[in-house]
Structure 1
Amino acid sequence: MARPKLEDVAARAGVSVTTVSRVLNNRGYLSDDLRRRVNAAIDELGYRPDAIARSLIGRRSGLVGVIVPTVADPFFGELVSSIERGLAAHGYKALLCDCQENAGREAEYLDLLQANRVDGVITSTHNRDVAGYDRAELPIVAVDRRLGAHIPVVRSDNRAGGRLATEHLLARGALSPILITATDHAGNDRAAAYREVMGAHGREPRVRAYGYATPMDDRRALVETWLADSGADGVFATDDLTALMALEWAHKTGRSVPGDVRIVGYDGSAAVRLGVPGLTTVGQPIGRLGARAAQLLVDRIADPDAAPTAEPPLPVELRLGWTT
């Protein structure tokens, strides 16, 4: 009869391999019920870790999973680069997971990373209700995404950014600026700020959401349809790529920018600034976001039981260009 393995104990107890390792090492917080279940499974199976297994238990892999919605967006490419630099300064390497804005793929990546015993995860996706984060048994840090009180969030001041963009469009003479965003939900601070400013000026807010999983060509078609139908003389796009789609639409339809339509984007990645330096946009401190996320995760790996701190939002700035 084959000797029982760590995986057999995990299956018998109904927990992950990581949980079994933490029980054996007495590492991190675990409920009494979990400890009893794991110890009962160990006794029932007669599991005994051999010398090699004992030497591996508790050893760090030096790997960190980084989950992003897409590396095709310049913002996430720059964010990943800054995260990698921050992790490398502490001797960690990043495993990049591009979930292609798919919630199912994101959940699979999270399971895969835990099964391969990475030391922690940094996630910057925007899929909602992805199963797994609430019961993950490794340190996690989120970038611009609220996953629960137990997971710290690094983010920019998106509400201030939304106000800056909307106030600027109105100040430049836009009477009916439209907001184009990925998803319109209660956690979208940029959209909330747009509504607040429009309401304060007695204007009707008009929000259009294309959905994160919408392919790029379909998103462009939606943007062009919305702009053609809305009669908007201003566009606040909550990412720079969508702002560039609006700019392309204006050129294709013979509308002058900023005479007929004023356009403001969001993010201010180096790639977009280099390609279209005249785009007015709300710039995020992308390098600081990545560096802070990396440092937070390293700290949580060193002390997984430390209570997560409330991270203050990082400041944003309005970068003026000829599109307004």
Structure 2
Amino acid sequence: MVLRREPTLADVAELAGVSLTTVSRVLNNRGYLSQETKDRVARAVAQLNYRPNQVARALHGKSTNIVGVIVPTVALPFFGELADEIENALAEHHYRILVCNSMGRADREREYLDLLISHRVDGIISGAHNDQLKEYHTVRMPLVTIDRDLSPTIPNIRCANEAAAREATRLLLDRGARRPALLTSRTGEHNRREAGYRAVLEQFGIDPVIFTVDFHTPDAERARLIDAHLDSAANRIDAVFATDDLSAAAVLDWADRNGLRVPQDFKVIGFDGTSAVRRALPGLATVRQPLGDLARTAVEVLLKQIQNAAQGQEAESISSPIELPGVLLPGRTT
């Protein structure tokens, strides 16, 4: 039998010379079947390279063993490495992932959310950075976020951002900085790294200087905006705490182009500590997020939700957010 399309259950049944019901029973290991029948079906499956329809399995109440993961883009080191850690953690439990890159667009995130729900994945882990989408409040499947406050009822797994930011800011002051600025994606009460920076400066009676460049700004425009912020405040600051390492790298580039020695004249510390950036800038002072622990914790919480749903049980109440400590890496830029 030669097919020009993906084989179906009916094709397997025809080649094996058995009924659709028999093929279904073999594939799902239900009821008594002779070894000869099992072998015939197995040979037909192998010959046709038949793959079970995961959507059809879901519609019949069966697990797809697939988890959807929504991130801004795996091209960014933090989210690329996070997706890798999540995939490894899920593989230990025989789950696979479907990675969706929202590219910073709310409309694309909505489309991916709808896609994952319609394909009946077993659960969703969201780490996208769009503003709150009301669609998440209607999701009726296991859902966990990473560093994203969607709702008190949706578990949020994150680094202990405020405590880590306090350490980063104190390090700048301990190394001699007196006018450190904060470079972040957006300001406000939900920015716990900003809260840590502000708390330490208040203790020392130092006025905060905060620059914002939106997380989703295109790279070329991002570099221009960072330069403009630093140029405007060059005489008022002597250090920068950037809330991500790529921004910290841009600050280092600005300092070099302006003839500032780091760390003698100007100090810089970042946040994330991904392997990729550590290889490119091994001397950068930063806070390393516990990526592996974040991924494993998110997977553990999600799989517990999946298990409860399969057993018809109510979701367990979880104190959210779940915060995991970051690690301060002093580097050579402070």
**TM-score normalised by structure 2 residue count:** 0.79
Aligned to 1:248: 253
1:136 to 1:259, Cα distance in 2 relative to 1, 3 A: same
Question: 2:274 & 2:298 partners in 1: Cα distance?
Answer: 18
Aligned to 1:212: 215
Say how many residue pairs are matched: 273
Aligned to 1:271: 276
Q: Is the 8 A contact 1:267 1:284 kept in 2?
A: yes
1:323 aligns with 2:333: yes
Q: Which has the larger radius of gyration?
A: 2
Question: 2:56 & 2:87 partners in 1: Cα distance?
Answer: 30
Question: 1:168 & 1:56 partners in 2: Cα distance?
Answer: 55
The structural deviation recorded for 1:131 is 2.5
The structural deviation recorded for 1:54 is 9.5
The structural deviation recorded for 1:217 is 1.3
The structural deviation recorded for 1:290 is 0.9
Aligned to 2:318: 309
1:299 aligns with 2:309: no
The structural deviation recorded for 1:260 is 1.4
Question: 2:57 & 2:318 partners in 1: Cα distance?
Answer: 33
Question: 2:71 & 2:225 partners in 1: Cα distance?
Answer: 24
The structural deviation recorded for 1:274 is 1.2
Residue type at the aligned position of 2:64: S
Higher relative contact order (CA 8 A, sep 6+): 1
State the superposition RMSD in angstroms.
1.6
Aligned to 1:182: 185
Question: 2:133 & 2:298 partners in 1: Cα distance?
Answer: 20
1:217 to 1:274, Cα distance in 2 relative to 1, 3 A: same
Aligned to 2:139: 136
Identity of aligned residues (%): 44
1:115 to 1:273, Cα distance in 2 relative to 1, 3 A: same
1:152 aligns with 2:155: yes
Q: Is the 8 A contact 1:133 1:147 kept in 2?
A: yes
Q: Is the 8 A contact 1:150 1:307 kept in 2?
A: no
Kindly provide the CA deviation profile for residues 237-288 of structure 1, in whole angstroms up to 9, marking residues without a partner as x. 0000000000111111211101111000001111111111100001111111
Q: How does 1:20-169 map to 2 (within 5 A)?
A: 56-169=59-172
Aligned to 1:193: 196
The structural deviation recorded for 1:307 is 2.2
Question: 1:280 & 1:183 partners in 2: Cα distance?
Answer: 22
1:257 to 1:91, Cα distance in 2 relative to 1, 3 A: same
Q: Is the 8 A contact 1:152 1:308 kept in 2?
A: no
Aligned to 2:17: none
Question: Paired residue for 2:291, among 264, 286, 291?
Answer: 286
Question: 1:100 & 1:54 partners in 2: Cα distance?
Answer: 30
Question: 1:215 & 1:154 partners in 2: Cα distance?
Answer: 27
Kindly provide the CA deviation profile for residues 37-75 of structure 1, in whole angstroms up to 9, marking residues without a partner as x. xxxxxxxxxxxxxxx979942111111110001212111
Q: Is the 8 A contact 2:181 2:240 kept in 1?
A: yes
Question: 2:58 & 2:76 partners in 1: Cα distance?
Answer: 42
Question: 2:141 & 2:81 partners in 1: Cα distance?
Answer: 25
Q: Is the 8 A contact 2:58 2:64 kept in 1?
A: no
Aligned to 2:15: none
The structural deviation recorded for 1:95 is 0.4
Q: Is the 8 A contact 2:57 2:64 kept in 1?
A: no
Q: Is the 8 A contact 1:159 1:193 kept in 2?
A: yes
